[in-house]
Structure 1
């Protein structure tokens, strides 16, 4: 039986229009994007097969073109469509959160960071530069690779802060593994940078670590900024 023969409350598009997107499973949302299935499989069944193949919706959406096109029923055209949809989502979010916005809530900061570094396959260290009223001046990406004492240089952090005349900063990095739990190295580097910036009277308000699926950890909330 094809999707056209299903009850309208069970068809992904009609279900979303009637009950909202939150009523749909990951497979149903993906089926709307796929639009059609393949011989012998509806779009929903194909979507679930793809989720099983990639392990999660996050892994599928963050696959590179070569990995993506290995999926059943996928190809360069669908990959281009996907990148376009994700680019629109990013611009939609950024249109309501740009330079000059006040950054005070960890949830707000994490959402912003997920768009910029959350999907990177390599660990990326970044910094939100803020003015006296915690308005965003700039997001700068400083280092890429595993965080350790050798890779994160406080002098580069200080240089970026002085160049932008920032009054406060929020440190950030992603965990490509998906688990945002901070390591002892993450905590040590936070304190090292905090001490360096204290010498020029610049506050380190937090260190946000983003994982996948919207997960994040705030060192300030965990009490690790003391």
Structure 2
């Protein structure tokens, strides 16, 4: 096929075909050629479009490039690069266009909104989903120049974006590589504390793994409350239930109509003979993970920190309770949620 548009029959040129047949009738090369608008000396626009796609491995690879990278490609330059980048950004945003009837009810909603925005961008980009008091979505987007794994986590930037959108509640998402342990606890704890000072509330924090950009599966969900319990030495308290092999956080299922923090206080009392108050709990957000002991299920966990604990005694369904540091925890068989919270990339399958 010739690469010069002038050599193509006018009836079959990309612009005319789009007007006549619609954009779905055009190839990726033709659509990119329309965005570029012109070629370079010695190469027509069709050839430049094909080279651009080949260089980056197709549309997915092209979407992962920054405009400055595209501008450095021969025959592209700043003007064409910004057109291509803008078109790809609009395509990502299309899947998350605001609908006032949409609400953030849990991790599935966050993944559906954030997944398309995180496609083709660096793993530590942060997506903020702003919502009103009834959790209705006001808007969502990638936070400019904010990185979840930066030396200084973007707490201020996230809160400023939520306030800018006039929101009261919000959710957060970013992506980890498959082999990258999740160590977001301090970031989320600081974010929750900062949000409370501003009169805001974090609804959810979802971590996507690798290239996973789609919605969660339709697996049945167990709604639980879990405690990240530490003692004065910073050791973690992990428990193992009777008849099971995986260690996990203390906690359990939330009863209908029961608040997550109230449920956790009840479960801690039943499982560990600890008397605590909801005011002792520090919210760390909501996590989604495969269930450890219920095959085919997932858990949506409201996670709270409980610090400086002493005197825990395994009771009821708890067969074993152990105090461990991070290295000792890594040597245990862990529930997926626990492995994620402790930043240990060896969850139970």
Decide: shared fold, TM above 0.5.
Answer: yes
SS at match of 1:225: strand
- Aligned residue number for residue 33 of structure 1: 35
| Conserved? CA contact 1:118–1:174, under 8 Å | no
- Aligned residue number for residue 210 of structure 1: none
Q: Give the distance between the partners of 2:227 and 2:18, measured in 1 at CA.
A: 49
Q: Give the distance between the partners of 2:11 and 2:106, measured in 1 at CA.
A: 38
State the aligned residue count.
204
> Which of 67, 70, 83 lines up with 1:68 in the alignment?
70
Alignment pair present for 1:172 and 2:206: yes
Given the superposition, is the C-alpha separation of residues 111 and 24 from structure 1 closer, same or farther in structure 2, using an over 3 Å criterion? farther
SS at match of 1:47: helix
Q: Give the distance between the partners of 1:55 and 1:129, measured in 2 at CA.
A: 34
SS at match of 1:32: helix
Q: Give the distance between the partners of 1:105 and 1:18, measured in 2 at CA.
A: 43
Instruction: Compare 34-43 and 119-128 and name the one that shifted more.
Output: 119-128
Q: Give the distance between the partners of 2:120 and 2:193, measured in 1 at CA.
A: 27
- Aligned residue number for residue 144 of structure 1: 148
Q: Give the distance between the partners of 2:128 and 2:86, measured in 1 at CA.
A: 27
Alignment pair present for 1:11 and 2:85: no
- Aligned residue number for residue 114 of structure 2: 113
Give the superposed CA RMSD. 4.7
SS at match of 2:47: helix
Per the TM alignment, residue 69 of structure 1 is displaced from its structure 2 partner at its CA by 2.6
- Aligned residue number for residue 56 of structure 1: 58
Given the superposition, is the C-alpha separation of residues 50 and 120 from structure 1 closer, same or farther in structure 2, using an over 3 Å criterion? closer
Instruction: Compare 135-144 and 113-122 and name the one that shifted more.
Output: 135-144
Per the TM alignment, residue 117 of structure 1 is displaced from its structure 2 partner at its CA by 4.1
Given the superposition, is the C-alpha separation of residues 191 and 178 from structure 1 closer, same or farther in structure 2, using an over 3 Å criterion? farther
- Aligned residue number for residue 84 of structure 2: 82
Given the superposition, is the C-alpha separation of residues 46 and 138 from structure 1 closer, same or farther in structure 2, using an over 3 Å criterion? closer
Structure 1 residues not aligned, in runs of 5+: 183-189, 208-217
The structure with the greater share of residues assigned to helix is 1
Alignment pair present for 1:122 and 2:123: yes
> Which of 243, 256, 260 lines up with 1:198 in the alignment?
260
Deviations 1:94-119 (A, max 9, x none): 7x506774246988755632565445
| Conserved? CA contact 2:39–2:45, under 8 Å | yes
| Conserved? CA contact 2:71–2:81, under 8 Å | yes
Q: Give the distance between the partners of 1:12 and 1:100, measured in 2 at CA.
A: 38
Query: TM-score scaled to structure 2, two decimals?
Result: 0.43
- Aligned residue number for residue 225 of structure 1: 299
Instruction: Compare 154-163 and 49-58 and name the one that shifted more.
Output: 154-163
Per the TM alignment, residue 53 of structure 1 is displaced from its structure 2 partner at its CA by 0.7
Deviations 1:67-102 (A, max 9, x none): 2133231112222333444566677777x5067742
Given the superposition, is the C-alpha separation of residues 152 and 129 from structure 1 closer, same or farther in structure 2, using an over 3 Å criterion? farther
Max radius of gyration: which structure? 2
Q: Give the distance between the partners of 2:261 and 2:103, measured in 1 at CA.
A: 25
Given the superposition, is the C-alpha separation of residues 60 and 3 from structure 1 closer, same or farther in structure 2, using an over 3 Å criterion? same
